[in-house]
Amino acid sequence: TQLLEQSPQFLSIQEGENLTVYCNSSSVFSSLQWYRQEPGEGPVLLVTVVTGGEVKKLKRLTFQFGDARKDSSLHITAAQPGDTGLYLCAGAKPSYQLTFGKGTKLSVIP
Amino acid sequence: KAGVTQTPRYLIKTRGQQVTLSCSPISGHRSVSWYQQTPGQGLQFLFEYFSETQRNKGNFPGRFSGRQFSNSRSEMNVSTLELGDSALYLCASSFDRTGGAMATEAFFGQGTRLTVV
């Protein structure tokens, strides 16, 4: 059973466009993390959101945690080729175990 | 500060063999988790060790096992390899001192690409 559903699975956009990817679950998480993974590398942590309704900004990336702490979104403004990669969300439970979504594979075309 | 180191980076094994993968966490990190990543299933949790004790375990058969040493280094072993075990195996370490939200923030190694033929 996949507890975290990410959409879309694939996204190909032109440089300069905006995009939003989603991470949804029926479970409540104590926190939610976003990672980016490039080919041949391990995932790299981008941000952790903890409070329902929380919004965090990291340069052109905006992360939001749903009020009920079950879902999250990542919005990228003016995408650049360097943003290309697999974006993964991961929900954390008090048991310290992380559950990952399958990811959104983003390609930004110059 | 050195990152998470996984060895080897690549492995080719034959069905029925066994394999041991190694992970050295970031200095000071006591929690080590292992994941299997495949194109179809994504990142799936194998197990997590904290202070030499397995604290969490995913839904994998008993052929998958692990351990953690007193210096927090960890190994995972897969016995009687099957073709379906071909995957990228990722190790992640966490600081896990406060037990709060930051406790689960994972720092990943580059992974070991295992191919079973």
Looking at residue B40, its pLDDT comes to: 86
A32 close to B (CB below 8 A): no
Structure tokens at B28: 């000071």
> Which residues from B are below 8 Å from A50, CB to CB?
101
Looking at residue A2, its pLDDT comes to: 54
Beta pairing class for A85-92 and A31-37: antiparallel
Structure tokens at B112: 């070991």
Looking at residue A102, its pLDDT comes to: 94
| Longest CA–CA separation in chain A, Å | 42
pLDDT tens track for B41-88: 899 999 999 989 998 899 999 999 999 999 999 999 999 999 999 999
Per-residue pLDDT tens digits of chain A, which is 110 residues long: 558 999 999 999 999 999 999 999 988 888 899 999 998 899 999 999 988 999 999 999 999 999 998 999 999 999 999 999 999 999 987 766 788 999 999 999 99
Is A73 in contact with A82 (CB distance < 8 Å)? no
Positive or negative: CA dihedral A50, B106, B54, B81: positive
| Longest CA–CA separation in chain B, Å | 44
A 43-102: CB under 8 A from B: 43-45, 48, 50, 88, 90, 92, 95-102
Subunit contact B90:A41, Cβ cutoff 8 A = no
Nearest CB among A30, A45, A99 relative to B105 is that of A45
pLDDT tens track for B13-27: 999 999 999 999 999
Closest CA to A100 of A19, A11, A36, A10: A36
Q: How far is CA B83 from the centre of its chain?
A: 19
Subunit contact A42:B55, Cβ cutoff 8 A = no
> Which residues from B are below 8 Å from A31, CB to CB?
101, 104
Please state, in angstroms and as integers, the Cα–Cα distance from residue A27 to each residue in A5, A61, A66, B7, following that order: 11, 25, 12, 35
Beta bridge partners of A45: A35
Looking at residue A83, its pLDDT comes to: 96
